[in-house]
Amino acid sequence: MSKITRRDFINGTLMAAGASMLPFGCTSEVVLDKLDPLYYPPALTGLRGSHIGSYTNAHARAWTGKSDWGPTTDLKEAYDLIVVGGGISGLSAAFFYQQEHGRDKKVLILDNHDDFGGHAKRNEHTVGDDTRLIFGGSQSLQSPHTFSETSLKLLKELGVDLDRFKTAYDFDFFKRNNLGAVTYFNKQIFGEDKVVKHPYCDYPWYVQGLQRPKLSHEEAVKQAPLSEKGKEQLLRVLKGGLHVLKLPKEELNEYISTHSYFHYLKTTLGVDDAGVLEMARNSSVDFSGAGADVLTIGEALECGVLGFDPLTLKDLIGEKEYEKNIKEHGYILDEGDQYIHHFPDGNATIARLLVKKMIPEVGEGDNAEDIILSKFNYSRLDKTSNIVRIRLNSTVVNVVHGGDPNSSSEVFVNYINDNKSYQVKGKGVVMACYNMIIPHIVSDLPNEQAAALRRLVKIPLQYTTVGLKNWRAMKEMEMGMAMSPGNMHQVVMMDFPVSMGGYHFTKSPDDPCAIQMIGCPFGETVGAPPVEQFREARYKMLGLQFKDYEKEIRAHLSGMLPKALFEFDRDVESITVNRWAHGYAYGGSALFDSDMPEMARKGRQPFGRITIANIDSVLSSYLQVAVDQAWRAVKELG
């Protein structure tokens, strides 16, 4: 065990040990041309991510088995490759295919969303004359020094200079502005709206430069709005650690990989205070995507949840090993592991670079630096004259070989766009979509493979971005990040302070900025199996309307920030709720379903001229994984 990084947390393998101005559903070249130059999804606010209209047809196919889509138009378009899914994996697959087989090879990429990039989503907020960029999903390149050669080579070819982040990231920003991590206790759950300048957990420290709390554990506990019993229990948790298990070192590893964190809290530490348990459940946030109630002690430790900070590792690995680690890796992250590889729009820059490489006319900019402010012309994505075409708002509902999958040389792909059914043809198909929908689309897959793919559920997540006229209130509250146990968004944070490509991060607290609010929705029943909780949370998420989110965000920010400095109607300019009903790939849990990696392996097998990419192929939610899986899928096509 070395250091804790965000990579460890969201890696699936860890789990195992403003209203749209466009009609959705428009895409054909003619329609896009007509809409040009207004068709520009990054600037849309309101309900985004898996936006309304994007999932209707896929759900009809998967939930009700719908197969009658009315008359199908054969577009008589033939491609060398058709890619289903325009996320990082699908875009990379298209790019690799052309690299391998020639730039003249015709490729069609189909995606059900109104923008390309999948989770790598760019949000733009217009605040007065200013445009603030922020990530609507995939945030940063995590530990690029660990990337495969394939991924590193791709980044280089795209013009990404990894060293650039050493100057683009403003390491001094949080210190200069005295911004640290706090906890907001909301009135509804904790009886009063109160901010304590302490996060009580380890989550915030992946943000480089965020200031450490000045309060001791004792002082922070004293200020928490809990009963005396709750305070006493909270202190016990904070002072806990693995030594309280009183196990010999050789048994410790096995124990913490098979026992639940909540069991440890309740039984070993005797915690029963509802407030403390609420704080604990909400402290793993998007490091795990699930609540801490379903984590093992080991997983909880890796996530740095309530009571488990890196010091706890001392108990696990022994003082000597701990000191050695501190010396070698520091838990003061070594340079290669600094979480600074962040573009102003997150990993959307990589998606944009891939698109620009394949469709050069889409906009200005030749490298990661000069593409940041480049406004793409979406009407260029699907021109008849393109060698690579990207067709948005197009949900693929059927993929079938032209004959026996073992010998066929063509695959027919049906998709629905604007409620109409179309067919195109390819010599090969890469499925870079969510893997669990594949058996509904490729209906003649072998049974075992289909059953495995159906198991690959995803974790719902919500990244809401808010355009603010100023961040004076956050500055006065010394708030770089606010843990918010029990709120729909468990985290509110300033964006990563990165300036590049002519884009400047907010300078003064009186300037506009965009902040991020992170939500991991759970099921109602604490401790229920993760897959059930994800399903319940996903349905609830998709059932809410924008006004429901706005109400929640209004209550959250207004309850947390001082009234003298913050007025929601005056200071909030725009809200973009990126709902990722299908977010991270779920890697399984030692407590519930440790066979998930095996399901992913069985599921990703090639089938005739159809191969399978996407992060779901190995259940690890990282950009480099999406890229590597694309490479594998392209190689498998031959």
Ligand X SMILES: Cc1cc2nc3c(=O)[nH]c(=O)nc-3n(C[C@H](O)[C@H](O)[C@H](O)COP(=O)(O)OP(=O)(O)OC[C@H]3O[C@@H](n4cnc5c(N)ncnc54)[C@H](O)[C@@H]3O)c2cc1C
Please report, as residue ranges, which positions from 459 to 518 form the binding site for ligand X (by CB under 6 A).
Answer: 461, 463
Does position 89 bind ligand X by CB under 6 A?
Answer: yes
**Range 418-422 contact pairs with CB under 8 angstroms and sequence separation of 24 or more:** 418/25, 418/26, 418/27, 418/28, 418/31, 418/393, 419/25, 419/70, 420/69, 420/70, 420/73, 421/69, 421/70, 421/71, 421/72, 421/73, 421/397, 422/72, 422/73, 422/74, 422/75, 422/394
Nearer to ligand X by Cβ, of 108 and 316: the residue is: 108
Q: How many CA atoms lie within 13 A of 165 on its CB side?
A: 23
Please report, as residue ranges, which positions from 573 to 602 form the binding site for ligand X (by CB under 6 A).
Answer: 580, 583-584
Does position 111 bind ligand X by CB under 6 A?
Answer: yes
Least CB distance from residue 357 to ligand X, whole Å? 16
Q: Which of 512, 531, 510, 534 is nearest to 522 (CA)?
A: 534
Q: Collapse the DSSP code of 89 into the 3-class scheme (helix H, G, I; strand E, B; otherwise coil) and give the result.
A: helix
> Is residue 213 reached through a cis peptide bond, with omega within 30 degrees of 0 on the bond before it?
no
DSSP 492-523: EEEPP-B-BTTB----STTS-EEEEEEE----
Q: Name the segment binding ligand X (CB under 6 A); options: 64-72, 106-114, 245-253, 316-324.
A: 106-114
> Which of 276, 396, 520, 600 touches ligand X (CB under 6 A)?
396
Q: Name the segment binding ligand X (CB under 6 A); options: 95-103, 271-279, 524-532, 618-626.
A: 618-626
Contact string 138-177 vs ligand X (x = CB under 6 A) = xxx-x-----------------------------------
Least CB distance from residue 499 to ligand X, whole Å? 19
Least CB distance from residue 513 to ligand X, whole Å? 20
Least CB distance from residue 463 to ligand X, whole Å? 5
Nearer to ligand X by Cβ, of 142 and 574: the residue is: 142
Least CB distance from residue 50 to ligand X, whole Å? 7
Distance CA 39, CA 43 (A): 9
Helices (H), 124-273: 149-158, 165-168, 173-176, 187-190, 217-223, 228-238, 249-258, 261-263
Structure tokens given for 547: 């006004």
Least CB distance from residue 614 to ligand X, whole Å? 4
Residue 610 in contact with residue 636, Cβ under 8 Å? Answer: no
Q: Name the segment binding ligand X (CB under 6 A); options: 38-46, 107-115, 319-327, 506-514.
A: 107-115
Least CB distance from residue 586 to ligand X, whole Å? 12
Q: What angle do CA 226, 229, 233 make, to 5 degrees?
A: 90
Does position 434 bind ligand X by CB under 6 A?
Answer: yes
Tell me the site size for ligand X, rule CB under 6 A. 39
Q: Name the segment binding ligand X (CB under 6 A); options: 165-173, 176-184, 198-206, 431-439.
A: 431-439
Which residues of this chain interact with ligand X, rule CB under 6 A? 58, 84-90, 110-113, 118-120, 137-140, 142, 347, 395-396, 432-434, 437, 441, 461, 463, 580, 583-584, 614-615, 621-623, 626
